[in-house]
Amino acid sequence: MNGTTRTKDRTLVVTGASGRTGSRVARAAEAAGMTVRAASRATGFDWADRTTWAGALRGADAAWLAHPADVGAPGTAEAVAGLAEAALSLGVRRLVLLSARGEDQALPAEEALRASGADWTVVRAAWFAQNFSEGPLAEELRRGELVFPAGEVAEPFIDVRDIADVAVAALAGGERYAGRTLTVTGPRLLTWAEAVAEIAEAAGRPLTYRAVPADAYRETLTGFGVPDREAAFLTEVFATLLDGRNARVENGVREVLGREPRDFSDVVREAAADGAWRE
């Protein structure tokens, strides 16, 4: 083989296929001629229930692994190790894991995949630009104010479509990307305040960002009904990710795709046109 893999007619299991990244991975894989098998609770696959794994994996060629909630959550490494073992026993050797850049808590899950014997690729992503337009932060922002413990740190928010394109290119790249950890970011650093200011301008509404200390944020989460342990975990992860270590742009998208990553402004313009921040 010359280092590339025919993607056409191959079946890709896409975990989290109804989520932010999985939906785009599914679209990019279909555009590359792959058959997509959506794997989430809606289709009978549950990360928390091993008896559902074989049904999702049997007969597939590769799998995109996106653990729900957080790749660094307690138990994720065990789940990734178990799922990889199940995949290998069914002949599914090519596994690509979505991880988070600079998240110490995610390292055990990455290591579990590397140690599994699979043809693995880890995609370490920056903060999703779509966190502002889809999911709980978007809901909060629609109400007028985003409260978050990000201080004035800068982040190169990534368009999840670029993560999807990298994932599919890594699958198509065969041996070239097996055994590799790819770090992907957007092209430009923005603080949370700058990001929200861009969104406010595009949405034509006075939306604001209010920085809070980690402890206060933890209390806010528990106030919203998030269980205390989960709130403590999330606050710790955010404190890790937002301590300045990630305030730099990296070139994974350019390396794999041979083009620049999409800019935050593009995501914001399109999401605003779709009414993402409409009252």
Q: Which residues in this chain contact ligand NAP in the complex, by CB under 6 A?
A: 16-22, 40-42, 45-48, 66-68, 70-71, 98, 100, 125, 127-128, 131, 135
HEC per residue, 64-90: EECCCCCCCCCCHHHHHHHHHHHHHHC
- Least Å from the CB of residue 135 to ligand NAP: 6
- Return the number of the residue (1 or 42) whose C-beta is nearest ligand NAP: 42
- Least Å from the CB of residue 21 to ligand NAP: 3
- Return the number of the residue (1 or 48) whose C-beta is nearest ligand NAP: 48
- Least Å from the CB of residue 96 to ligand NAP: 13
- Least Å from the CB of residue 48 to ligand NAP: 5
- Both structure tokens of 256: 């794999």
- Least Å from the CB of residue 15 to ligand NAP: 6
User: What gap in Å lies between CA 94 and CA 61, rounded to an integer?
Assistant: 7
Residues, the chain, total?
A: 279
- Return the number of the residue (127 or 277) whose C-beta is nearest ligand NAP: 127
Q: Which residue is nearest to ligand NAP (CB)?
A: 19
- Return the number of the residue (46 or 270) whose C-beta is nearest ligand NAP: 46
- Return the number of the residue (47 or 277) whose C-beta is nearest ligand NAP: 47
- Least Å from the CB of residue 43 to ligand NAP: 7
